[in-house]
Structure 1
Amino acid sequence: MGLLQLGRRHLVDVRPLAVPAYRRLWLGQGVSYMGFQLTSVAVSAQIYAITGSSFWVGMLGPANLVPLVVFGLWGGAVADAVDRRRLLIGGALVAWAATLALLVQAWTGTASVGLLLATVAVHATGFAVTSPTRGAIIPRLLPVEQVPAANTLNFLVSSIGAVIGPLLAGVALARGGVAVAYLADAVLFGASLYAALRLPRLAPLGEVTRPGLRSVVDGLRYIAGNRVVLMSFVVDVIAMAFALPRALFPEIAAERFGGSQIAFGWLSAGMAIGSVAGGLLSGWVGRVRRQGVALTFTIAVWGASVAASGLAGELWLMVALLAVGGAADMVSAVWRQTILQTHAPDEMRGRMQGVFTVVVAGGPRLGDLRAGATATWFGATGAWVGGGLACAAAVLAAGLAVPAFRNYRAGGTGARDGGSGGTGA
């Protein structure tokens, strides 16, 4: 096997980048996500500096979660009924306004925990609208056979941003403070806005349902009638709610590494480093057929890696083990996203992506709350290690207990969800 053939087989598929509209969206997402990570790290550090408590850092979880649930579901329903380009621009401007508000608070010295949490909630509202809209746009820009590759590229560029962003945040916090991080985010946002402005008009296709409670319920019924899709959400919630240690990074950096902001940045980037590696070597992902079992064991690897990283005493080892978990998480995310995008009709894609946003973005916020709360009872190390072990055990029990999910084969007869009225993928 020649090197070129080997590369095509195992390295990331870049064919979607030949489509200009997708390429701009992809680049804009990557640049702006770097800024988003700068802000995320800066807010956590600012709240910990004010309170000295991981509990209050963990409260960023519900501050993000409530808007994500409400506006993620609503935003997905709206995305099925209006021009998706206009909706993407509107949601992005809301998120940008929240970043500017954080910058003003830092510059004027008026920041308080309550004000920071409220501003983060506004930012989450913008994200809750733009994320399902962007996911629903991609199948309109590309041939269906390129959608899995596009998802991989999306997760890859986000992961690159999640590596660079926290590392830059560590430097910014050490040398310029939180205001510098917020300013960088505000500037980098321009790439995402430019990409949205250059999109073609994307009016809804098929039957248009008026956005509202009824359309949201229809989307939830679609998911409830498909056990494979439903379980793909369940295992992801388990992964993030049980095992994500993000809210513990400031305390661990303080306890083990003398409060080093550089160490904090490396911890924040660890999972994303693994995601980048997993994305670059993702050529095999589309060839896995037994995706139900694969998802289950991949998420179990994530939980076990997190638990092991919490026991490590050296920074490099903690980051390496977090990277293993990040690679596992990236692979599972590609499989779940592709199922939703390729098997839901266009008039349902916004709602599917809305639920996906709630689960993918909301699960980590539950994880933040869980980590912060359990740290007050068991300490940061106990919360970190215990959460990873609980995740591995729970996902194996849940994923292997549902025959439709356990036996699911992508594109095969195992996709038929007996008695559920739907197909697995």
Structure 2
Amino acid sequence: MSTTSALPAPSGPYLDQGLLPADFYAHENLLSDGERAKIEAIRAFLRTQAAPIVNDYWARAEFPFQLVEGFGSLGLVDWADPDSPEARPSNLLSGFIALELAHFDASLATFAGVHTGLAMGTVLNCGSDEQQRRWLPAMSRFEKIGAFALTEPHGGSDVAGGLLTTARRDGDHWILDGSKRWIGNATFADLIVVWARDTETGHVLGFVVEKDTPGFTATKIENKMALRIVQNADIVLDGCRVPEANRLENANSFKDTAKILRATRSGVAWQAVGVMFGAYEIALQYAKEREQFGRPIGGFQLVQDLLVRMLGNATASCGMVTRLAQLQDAGVYRDEQSALAKAYCTARMRESVGWARELLAGNGIILDYNIGRFVADAEAIYSYEGTREIQTLIVGRAVTGGLSAFVR
């Protein structure tokens, strides 16, 4: 078994050229030729530039900054640049981009998701025209990196009602005080979207805090067992003075925050599918190459059973997020549909990476074989952007006609 970090090339009689082994029902063929070309360009970049180095950076818990320029050159979010002729992509294409990133590495997918989905998505949906023109062009080219600061040290699932960070108006500025935790990209981000409660009205407002603003401190969270490449931080806001011009004009309540989370939650479901695709791909190649008792282990019934279980999870989940993207593109999707996708796909991901690790036996815990990284990273994706339990309550409230099981 080769210990190269690069994932194996697709193969198999059921595949169209370029499709991944886990795309058993050829969902990627729903994209246009131009969209598929973009996915193939991203895939080539990740295979040649990212895959050979991710294990090393994951082990050292450091971020590969040399990849950022490449992310910008791929044109992942040219649609966000008001001066760009590119139209905004379909949700289906955006989903496949998230899948492709996670198929190689969940940390890189998380980095991109925080930057493009949470930070840029907030500016796009909650910023004024002037604010969008001020920040989005450089962000779309990955020249300025964004972060999204909502979660607090003592609040996770109850953040809607328990937000403690405050914003106090002081002339043409706002004074932010409080703390945030688990903020991805925050140690190096240029622009940090911070959510805080107005001390006068009690409303939740959004602000863009620029790097090096006095009173803003970001400290890297150490000793993580998952998403080690992602630079999560504890943030302290101590009399952080932010100009009124940096208050997001259309972020005036937690409902505005929730609109962003509804959209990015579906992106996390796509990431989970990508992790399943990557884990299945590694396990399948290993099963073909690893020999025991004189033949490849892929010829044993129990190994084929594990592969088919993984493939079933990946296929069902890919079908779910594909349909969700179609509903999003039609403008008719609902919160509970995103919630169900996040809950279901991440649970299936957790099962699948465990089966892949089982198939590789002892080699499954060695970084050289990649699966150990997938198993660890899956634990973070399973929990962030709303735990499975919270997602089930959102869906449960919807299917019971509004009977809420949330604790108040």
Do they fold alike, i.e. is TM over 0.5? no
Larger Cα-atom Rg? 2
Which protein has greater RCO, CA pairs closer than 8 Å, 6+ apart?
1
Which structure features the higher share of helix residues?
Answer: 1
TM-score, structure 1 as length reference: 0.28
